[in-house]
Structure 1
Amino acid sequence: MPQEPHHRPIAKRLRTFARRMRREPTDAEAAMWRLLRDRRFSQFKFRRQVPFQNYILDFVCFERRLVIEIDGSQHAEAPRDTARDHALAHEGFQIARYWNNDVLQCRTAVMEDILTKLAER
């Protein structure tokens, strides 16, 4: 029986890095986590800074296989993000990307978009 994606072995360095990212979130990540944590968002369980394969996912709902990425300008058309998106899509995940600025200034629109994506899955 194949393991669920969040139960696969992860390299120690990646787990350590993910823990550090949870302790030191960006302003946008902290704002998003306040909305998603404790099943506050339509009762869907989200996890943050989750190691997966060779990547760390900002936020993920395994039930709906939805990954939410909060990005700064350094991610604009980054080749590594494209490879990561393909790897996640191959595992059945949908990726929703939002700019830091949108999360901080247009929170309602971002949350409505996430609700739509969850409903579609």
Structure 2
Amino acid sequence: MPRVPPEMTRRARALRGNATEAERLVWLRLRTYRPRFTRQLVVGRYILDLACRQARLAVEFDGSQHLDSSYDAERTAFLESVGWRVMRFWNSEVVANPDGVAEAILGEVVRSCRPTHPQPLPSREGRKK
């Protein structure tokens, strides 16, 4: 995998520090699940709002500036060409129903890899010495 340009890393960190309300609401619900979710992941020349690397799932939260955006279509086409599936939600939809959006995302992860678990079991639990 090619190294991420330093400017993209700086932009991703800045976006992580200035998350939108929709991003915060969903992140609070998904951050403890396995497989892990990542915020502001750099893929190619794009920064994904939320991603699950293991499931190769990109989640984008769109505001009104994304209405009829050719940039979003180009971005989705690129991500799909490198093996990512893209889910898009309107910010207003997330704010109105963050639990439903989180459930939809987890459902897609389950379909693509395996069930998630909020807290992984300790690796040596139940073993006798």
Match of 1:9, SS state, is: coil
Equivalent residue for 1:33? Answer: 27
Report if the CA contact (8 A) 2:41-2:49 is conserved: yes
- Give the structure-2-normalised TM-score: 0.81
Runs of at least 4 residues off by over 3 Å: none
Structure 2 portions without partners, runs of 5+? 113-129
Residue type matched to 1:83 in 2?
E
Paired residues in the alignment total 112
Query: How far is the alpha carbon of 1:44 from its aligned partner?
Result: 2.0
Instruction: Structure 1: state its 5+ residue gaps.
Output: none
Residue 41 of structure 2: which of 44, 50, 56 is its match?
A: 50
Question: How far has the Cα of 1:116 moved from its partner?
Answer: 2.1
Please state whether the residue corresponding to 2:101 is helix, strand or coil: helix
Percentage of pairs with the same residue: 33
- The Cα of 1:83 is off from its aligned counterpart by 0.8
Quick check: which has more Rg, 1 or 2?
Answer: 2
* Amino acid aligned to 2:49: D
SS at match of 1:80: helix
Question: Structure 2 CA distance, aligned partners of 1:115 and 1:20?
Answer: 26
Question: Partner letter of residue 109 of structure 2?
Answer: L
**Is residue 96 of structure 1 aligned with residue 87 of structure 2?**
yes
Q: Give the deviation of 1:104 after TM superposition.
A: 1.2
Q: What letter corresponds to residue 15 of structure 1 in structure 2?
A: T
The one-letter code matched in structure 2 to 1:36 is L
Secondary structure at 1:110 match in 2: helix
Q: Match of 2:6, as an amino acid?
A: K
Q: State TM-score, norm by structure 1.
A: 0.86
